[in-house]
Amino acid sequence: MTAAVRRRSQLLPSGRLRPGAAVSLPVDEVRAALELMLLSRRFDARAIAMQRLGRWGVHSPAEGQEAAVVGSCLALDPGRDWVVPQYRELAAYLHQGHGLERVVAAQMGHPQEGRIADEVRLLPVQVALAAQLPQAVGLAWGLRRQGQDAVVLTYLGDGASSEGDFHEACNLAGVVRAPVVFLLQNNGWAISTPRRLQSAATTLASRGPGYGFPGVVVDGNDLLAVHAVTAEAVGRARAGDGPTLIEAQTYRLGFHNTTDDPTAYTDPAELAAARALDPILRVRRYLTAHGAWDEEREAAACRAIDDRLDRAIARAERLPAPGPAACFDDVYAEPPPRVLAQRAHALAEAEV
Amino acid sequence: MAQLTMVEALRDGLRVAMADDPRVLCLGLDIGTLGGVFRVTRGLQAEFGADRVVDTPLAEASIIGAAIGLALAGLRPVAELQFLGFSHQGFHQLGAQLGRFRTRSRGRFAVPVVVRAPFGGGIRSPEFHSDALEAQIVQMPGIKVVMPATPADAKGLLLTAIRDPDPVLFCEPDRLYRLGREEVPPGPHLVPFGVARLARAGDDLTLVAWSAAVELCLRAADRLAGEGIGAAVLDLRTLVPLDVEAILREARRTSRVVVVHEAPLTGGFGAEIAATIQEEAFHALDGPVRRVAAWDVPYPPGRLEDHYLPSLERVVRAARAAVRD
Ligand SMILES: Cc1ncc(C[n+]2csc(CCOP(=O)(O)OP(=O)(O)O)c2C)c(N)n1
Ligand SMILES: [Mg+2]
């Protein structure tokens, strides 16, 4: 058995602070965080609606996990730190400076729009679970060797933490004391597989100490606590004290992705209980109590978000449909002659 | 006889195998309550219990590695990879382990493991869900490679795979899972390995394919028939073992062969077929063996996949060119 780990929390579901909580975000930044959480939530709703109309690719919503994503990425300095994502971290991509309109267009069938601008410290989403983690360690290690004081924040899920790549990444990170933070979003599920079938360990954070670095458990629906523990971990990494594994305990309120039907395997009572702990509710309550949020502000924020989404969608709709040449773009710096011949062949056929 | 989709036929096959042999167990991601992401195993956990239809932690290397150990312990594991594209997370347990156990132990240890894996394009899936990796596995001696194209074959080949003393990679074309129904024999229906199926007769040329490309070739043959060209379609069913005789018989009979596959052209299994034909039946040919395959680039996002996969047009054009030879 692993030793019991204290679960860190600051902002209670009531919207009140736990007595003695050392809050690391001022109220105006919490307000900006709530706006980012709302953007993530509304983006999901729009993406799902568009997917049902056949105008959007497969979508994996972040619904319920907004505090885990927003709280953690806000602890980074996008001017020097990097994000290496899993796939539910829209808010982190945006915080790093990636454009919403690019995310939208890529999902609406324009893969070339997936290009992340050179100045944005973010790696592209990839689908093979946990494969990004050793890369994140190498990136952190390499940036340190290049004399930068950058930190890499990499995301993974409870399911991904069963992959060998996760364990190898942790082991290496500990050995080279890489300035990396592993943010494990334990949302209770890997598609239909519940957390208890994923690992017999009491907490997933308990793996950190096994690899020689701290493992921290935090209420993943608590924006303030997630921010505080991530800021600590980022500080440690920057100071040369090595990696941290953070287990943000949250809950997937939606489906795994738009191809999934969770009613086949979830318990409605468990879902209802999780809904009551929706991370957005408590931030709203907190800010309202501080006089920094009200219905009017909420309505204005939602309008602004919907406008941004409308504009991004309208822009994507105006983009020309990609042709066969797009299959061949960016595969090699200098494509082999045979590949160039195939490209010419594909283009000629498209014209017939 | 029941009219089944491929998903239903596979489920029926698993049910028959599990009822027939208590050593058979299934393991993989989400195969229990959910029944797998394509529902092939739906209802089997309720019927046979959670110790025979096992939801594993998310780790392909340990699914395959543990299947090897279970087989060494005397069980008959049927492992499911959620997608063939994620076989890479367990690649070292395939070629280097699963395929070599018999040789390494000088015949003492057999590992009768079946690894099922959906794959293939045309359904707008995310990255790694569509990649046709069969040629990579064919290069792992010791493993049989099975590629059914119809519901009845899916069941019959699966039951043969489960009874086979050697490991089998069983690739399921997800585009065909629910595309149509056909009569599937009940009970222990067995289709032997290494016996190709003439899916359609025709005298002017032979289209050689496996898995979902068979369905594409049948559509191409329909189109060609309208132009007065008789195209036979040979469904290889298994790549290892390979029915070389059937391939040569067709090459000698029609003198014109076009091989169609979803994997990239270079180093694809089509090259093996073309080379075999020219070695063994060169003088019977009226022209070169042609290949229609995907391009030598990474599998693109769904929106672009129609530009990447072999299309009906490309197959028809290659066939027309072949009959002009
Ligand atoms: C190596 C690999 N195996 C299987 C899959 C299929 N798959 C996609 S998401 C997923 C579940 C992931 O669960 P988790 O890591 O907890 O992340 P969550 O989806 O809950 O955010 C699975 C099995 C994959 N993408 N990669
Ligand atoms: Mg999860």
Residue B127: which CATH number? 3.40.50.970
How far is it, in rounded angstroms, from Cα A324 to Cα A240? 48
The structural domains of chain A, with segments of one domain joined by +, span 5-321, 324-352
8 A C-beta contact, residue A283 and residue A70: no
Confidence of residue A174 (pLDDT cuts 50, 70, 90): very high
- Other C-beta atoms closer than 10 Å to the C-beta of B197 total 19
How far is it, in rounded angstroms, from Cα A119 to Cα A97? 8
B264 lies in some domain: yes
Query: Which of the listed residues B142, B162, B184 is the one where a domain comes to its end?
Result: B184
* A132-145 vs A164-176: helix crossing angle, rounded to 10: 20
B107 lies in some domain: yes
CA distances for A240 relative to A137, A179, A305, angstroms: 14, 7, 39
Residue B274 maps to which CATH number?
3.40.50.920
Identify any residues that bridge with A184 across adjacent strands, giving them in sequence order. Answer: A156, A247
Residue A232 CA to its chain's centroid (Å)? 19
Confidence of residue A3 (pLDDT cuts 50, 70, 90): low
Total CB pairs under 8 A between chain A and B: 112
How far is it, in rounded angstroms, from Cα B269 to Cα B261? 8
B192 lies in some domain: no
- Other C-beta atoms closer than 10 Å to the C-beta of A350 total 12
Residue listed under structure tokens 């539910």: A88
How far is it, in rounded angstroms, from Cα A291 to Cα A285? 10
Q: Is the pLDDT of residue A196 over 80?
A: yes
Q: Residue A350 has what pLDDT? A: 84
How far is it, in rounded angstroms, from Cα B211 to Cα A207? 42
pLDDT mean across residues, chain A: 97
Query: Which of the listed residues B184, B219, B237 is the one where a domain comes to its end?
Result: B184
Residues in chain A with CB shorter than 8 Å from the CB of B88 are 128
Mean pLDDT of A31-49: 98
Paired tokens of B40: 């092939």
Of A131, A270, A259, A85, residue with least CA distance to A194: A270
How far is it, in rounded angstroms, from Cα B194 to Cα B214? 16
B189 lies in some domain: no
Rounded to the nearest angstrom, the distance between the alpha carbon of A198 and the centre of ligand 1 is: 12
Residue B43 near chain A (CB below 8 Å): no
Of B104, B18, B30, residue with least CA distance to B63: B30
What would the pLDDT profile of A215-256 be if each residue is shown by its tens digit?
999 999 999 999 999 999 999 999 999 999 999 999 999 999
A75 CB less than 6 Å from ligand 1? no
Residue B24 CA to its chain's centroid (Å)? 21
Chain A residue with Cα closest to B36: A192
Q: What dihedral do alpha carbons A169, A180, A254, A307 form, nearest 10°? A: -140
Rounded to the nearest angstrom, the distance between the alpha carbon of A189 and the centre of ligand 1 is: 9
Of A137, A132, A15, A55, residue with least CA distance to A309: A55
How far is it, in rounded angstroms, from Cα A186 to Cα A161? 9
Of A85, A60, A61, A59, residue with least CA distance to A72: A85
What's the CA angle centered on A119, arms A113 and A122, to 5 degrees?
65
Residue B86 near chain A (CB below 8 Å): yes
Of B34, B60, B56, residue with least CA distance to B45: B34
Q: If you write DSSP's letter for every residue of A7-22 in order, what string do you get? A: EE--B-TTSPBPTT--
Of B180, B175, B87, B201, residue with least CA distance to B136: B87
Mean pLDDT of A89-109: 98
A64 CB less than 6 Å from ligand 1? no
Of B237, B220, B247, residue with least CA distance to B319: B220
The pLDDT profile of chain B, 325 residues, written as one tens digit per residue, is 899 999 999 999 999 999 999 999 999 999 999 999 999 999 999 999 999 999 999 999 999 999 999 999 999 999 999 999 999 999 999 999 999 999 999 999 999 999 999 999 999 999 999 999 999 999 999 999 999 999 999 999 999 999 999 999 999 999 999 999 999 999 999 999 999 999 999 999 999 999 999 999 999 999 999 999 999 999 999 999 999 999 999 999 999 999 999 999 999 999 999 999 999 999 999 999 999 999 999 999 999 999 999 999 999 999 999 999 8
Does residue B59 sit in the same domain as residue B36?
yes
> Which atom of ligand 1 approaches the CA of A257 most closely?
19
Of B86, B85, B78, residue with least CA distance to B167: B78
Q: Residue A349 has what pLDDT? A: 87
Phi, psi for B191 (deg, rounded to 5): -115, 125
Does residue B19 sit in the same domain as residue B55?
yes
Which 119-138 residues of chain B touch chain A by CB within 8 A? 124-129
> Which atom of ligand 1 approaches the CA of A191 most closely?
11
CA distances for A175 relative to A153, B301, B305, angstroms: 18, 37, 42
Q: Is the pLDDT of residue A4 over 80?
A: no
CA distances for A196 relative to A88, A258, B62, angstroms: 21, 24, 17
Residues in chain A with CB shorter than 8 Å from the CB of B297 are 327-328, 331, 339, 342
How far is it, in rounded angstroms, from Cα B143 to Cα A337? 34
8 A C-beta contact, residue A158 and residue A129: no
B306 lies in some domain: yes
- Other C-beta atoms closer than 10 Å to the C-beta of A73 total 27
Does residue B93 sit in the same domain as residue B231?
no
Its domain, for residue B72, covers 2-184
Residue listed under structure tokens 């050995």: A175
Does residue B245 sit in the same domain as residue B309?
yes
B122 lies in some domain: yes
Does residue B155 sit in the same domain as residue B244?
no
Does residue B228 sit in the same domain as residue B95?
no
Q: Which amino acid is at A190?
A: A
A265 is catalytic: yes
What would the pLDDT profile of A282-331 be if each residue is shown by its tens digit?
999 999 999 999 999 999 999 999 999 999 999 999 999 999 999 999 99
At B29 the three-state DSSP class reads coil
B152 CB less than 6 Å from ligand 1? no
B2 CB less than 6 Å from ligand 1? no
A191 CB less than 6 Å from ligand 1? yes
Phi, psi for A274 (deg, rounded to 5): -70, -35
Q: Residue A21 has what pLDDT? A: 95
Instruction: Say whether B33 and A160 touch across the interface (CB within 8 A).
Output: no
Q: Is the pLDDT of residue A5 over 80?
A: no
Chain B residue with Cα closest to A352: B313
Q: Per-residue b/e over B154-186, b at no fewer than 16 CB within 10 Å?
A: bbbbbbbbbbbebbbbbbbbbbbbeeeeeebee
A251 is catalytic: no
Question: Domain tally for chain B?
Answer: 2
Confidence of residue A2 (pLDDT cuts 50, 70, 90): very low
What would the pLDDT profile of A66-89 be if each residue is shown by its tens digit?
999 999 999 999 999 999 999 999
ipTM entry: 0.96
B191 lies in some domain: no
Does residue B113 sit in the same domain as residue B217?
no
Residue B298 near chain A (CB below 8 Å): yes
Q: Is the pLDDT of residue A113 over 60?
A: yes
Identify any residues that bridge with B53 across adjacent strands, giving them in sequence order. Answer: B26
Does residue B87 sit in the same domain as residue B169?
yes
Give the fold, CATH level 3, of A5-321. Answer: Rossmann fold (3.40.50)
- Other C-beta atoms closer than 10 Å to the C-beta of A146 total 8
Q: What is the 3-state secondary structure (H, E, C) of A277-302?
A: CCHHHHHHHHHHHCCCCCHHHHHHHH
Q: Is the pLDDT of residue A352 over 80?
A: no
Q: What dihedral do alpha carbons A138, A139, A142, A144 form, nearest 10°? A: -120
Instruction: Say whether B297 and A324 touch across the interface (CB within 8 A).
Output: no
Q: Residue B50 has what pLDDT? A: 98
How far is it, in rounded angstroms, from Cα A337 to Cα A302? 52
Q: Residue A270 has what pLDDT? A: 95
Q: Which amino acid is at A263?
A: T
Which ligand lies nearest the alpha carbon of A156? 1
Does residue B167 sit in the same domain as residue B204?
no
